[in-house]
Amino acid sequence: MTQSLPIRLIGACVLCATVALSGCAAKTRYGDARGVETVTNQFGSTDLQMIAESMTRSMLNSQVVSGVERPIMTVQEVKNKTSEYIDTRAITDSIRVELQKSGRVRFAVDAAAMDQQIEELKRQQSDYYEAKKSAEIGKMVGAAYRLEGNIVSIVKEANGVKDVYYKFNLQLWNIQNGLLEWTDEKEIRKTTS
């Protein structure tokens, strides 16, 4: 059966458009989660990972952690004093993961997870559980050290150049005597022009 010229033309146009659009379609690929990310100069994955790694290695080299006994720590707040949104909990979580994996540190339940901990203890004390195998109240171990810190930034912009400077500071305090046992900083500078 023969087709008329306008129908053939429309068919050809549809085919060309399909080919053109498929050429423009966004391509998705898996990347290196640990690669250097420089999409923008805002706080990014590379900054988070570098801070966590740098702080952990520094702390593992400190006297508190390199001793025979594994110190018990708790994580407190890292204050975000920058002008942008940064999930500082993600940074402290990464630091805690690396320290725990090193086998040199133990972590006690922190303030953020305390409600869940108490709730579970109370639940196990209920009549639904076998008393002998339930966790007892009054047996939790308190931390000897607390981790806290802050992140600040200085942002400057002129003549199409934007410079961002981050400084992350972490401190390890002795809860018993209030002494600062270890502290370190990580600086990062990013410039976009």
Partner 1 sequence: MNLPVLATILIASIAVAGCAASKVERPDFAYGCPAGDNKKIGSKEDLIKAKLEIAGSLPNIEVVDLRCADRSGRLRVDVDLKNDSREERRVAYRFRWLDKDGMRAWDDETWKPLLIYGNTLYTVTTMSPAPEATDFRVVIMDQDK
Length, in residues, of the chain: 193
Rule CB under 8 A: is residue 40 a binding residue for partner 1?
no
Q: Is 41 in the site for partner 1 (CB under 8 A)?
A: no
60, 109, 152, 155: which one binds partner 1 (CB under 8 A): 60
Q: Which of 41, 42, 76, 102 binds partner 1 (CB under 8 A)?
A: 102
Quick check: helix, strand or coil at residue 118? Answer: helix
Q: Which residues contact 73 (CB under 8 A, 6 or more apart)?
A: 99, 105, 106, 107, 108, 143, 144, 145, 146, 147, 172
Indicate the residue among 46 and 76 with the shorter CB distance to partner 1. Answer: 46
Which of these ranges, 9-17, 43-51, 118-126, 172-180, lies near partner 1 under the rule CB under 8 A? 43-51
Contact pattern from residue 6 through residue 35 relative to partner 1, giving x for each residue in contact according to CB under 8 A and a dash for the rest: --------------------------x-xx
Q: How many CB atoms lie within 10 A of CB 151?
A: 22
Q: Given candidates 66, 83, 116, 192, which one binds partner 1 under the rule CB under 8 A? A: 66
* 184 binds partner 1 per the rule CB under 8 A: no
Q: Are 80 and 88 in contact (CB under 8 A)?
A: yes
CA atoms within 13 A on the CB side of 171: 14
101 sits near partner 1 (criterion: CB under 8 A): yes
Considering only 41, 53, 88, 165, the residue that binds partner 1 (CB under 8 A) is 53
Q: How many CB atoms lie within 10 A of CB 149?
A: 23
Rounded CA separation 31/97 (Å):
23
Q: Does 93 bind partner 1 (CB under 8 A)?
A: no
Write phi, then psi, for 50 (nearest 5 degrees). -65, -40
Residue 134 interacts with partner 1 (CB under 8 A)? no
Nearer to partner 1, 53 or 148 (CB): 53
